[in-house]
C-alpha cells in the first residue's frame, strides 16, 4: 500500500499568505490559486484591484503545473520555440506562473499566480511553494518512519510464477 502526502488547510493558508507577502512586498496586485494534485481548487486569493481575469488565469496556471507535474513555464517555452500545437490542449495554460508542490518526488498540488509579468508571477508562486517545502520536511520524516514500521510488520507472500 502506498502512503501519500496531501495538502492540508494549514498548508494552503501558509502558501497563500507567503505568496501574498511576496506580492505586497513588491507592490504587485495579483490573484493566487492553490490546487491539489488533480488540479482541483483548494484556496484562492484575489488582491484588491487585481483584474477579474487574473483569477481564471491563476487557476489555469496552477492546474497546468499540478496535472503536468512541472512548472507552466515549460509549456510557455515549448510554444515560444514553435510547438504551437500545445495551444490546442484544452484546460492547459501555457504561461509562466504555475509551480508544482513536490514532496519526496510526488506532486501534491500547485500554486498559480497571475496579474503581473510572467516571471514575477512565478516569483510569487515560488514564495508560496517554498513555505510549503519548509512545512513538509518533518512530515516526510514521519512518513518514512511509518513506512519502515509498516514494512517490518508486513507478511511477505510470493505467488508462484510471479516476478
DSSP letter, residue 18: H
Mean pLDDT of the chain: 85
Q: Do the domain assignments include residue 1?
A: no
Task: Return all residues near 55 (Cβ < 8 A) that are at least 6 apart.
Answer: 31, 33, 44, 46, 114
Q: Do the domain assignments include residue 115?
A: yes
Q: Using the structure block, give the residue that is written with the C-alpha cell 518512519.
A: 145
Over residues 85-114, mean pLDDT: 92
Whether 1 has a pLDDT exceeding 70, the answer reads yes
Q: Do the domain assignments include residue 159?
A: no
CATH number of the CATH domain containing 113 = 3.30.450.150
Q: Do the domain assignments include residue 106?
A: yes
In this prediction, residue 5 carries a pLDDT of 84
Q: Do the domain assignments include residue 52?
A: yes
Q: Do the domain assignments include residue 43?
A: yes
Q: Do the domain assignments include residue 163?
A: no
Domain hosting residue 135, numbered range: 9-151
* Number of domain units in the chain: 1
Confidence class for position 90, pLDDT limits 50, 70, 90:
confident
Q: Do the domain assignments include residue 144?
A: yes
Whether 130 has a pLDDT exceeding 70, the answer reads yes
pTM over 0.75: yes
In this prediction, residue 37 carries a pLDDT of 96
Amino acid at each position: 500500500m502506498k502512503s501519500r502526502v496531501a495538502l492540508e488547510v494549514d498548508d494552503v493558508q501558509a502558501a497563500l499568505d507567503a505568496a501574498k507577502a511576496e506580492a505586497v512586498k513588491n507592490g504587485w496586485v495579483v490573484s493566487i490559486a492553490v490546487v491539489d494534485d488533480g488540479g482541483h481548487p483548494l484556496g484562492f486569493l484575489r488582491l484588491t484591484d487585481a483584474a477579474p481575469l487574473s483569477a481564471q488565469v491563476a487557476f489555469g496556471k496552477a492546474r497546468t503545473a499540478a496535472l503536468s507535474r512541472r512548472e507552466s513555464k515549460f509549456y510557455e517555452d515549448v510554444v515560444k520555440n514553435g510547438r504551437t500545437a500545445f495551444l490546442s490542449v484544452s484546460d492547459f495554460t501555457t504561461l509562466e506562473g504555475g509551480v508544482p508542490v513536490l514532496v519526496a518526488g510526488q506532486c501534491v498540488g500547485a500554486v498559480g499566480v497571475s496579474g503581473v509579468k510572467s516571471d514575477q508571477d512565478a516569483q510569487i508562486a515560488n514564495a508560496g511553494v517554498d513555505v510549503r517545502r519548509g512545512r513538509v520536511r518533518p512530515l516526510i520524516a514521519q512518513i518514512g518512519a511509518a513506512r519502515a514500521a509498516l514494512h517490518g510488520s508486513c507478511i511477505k507472500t510470493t505467488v508462484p510464477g510471479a516476478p
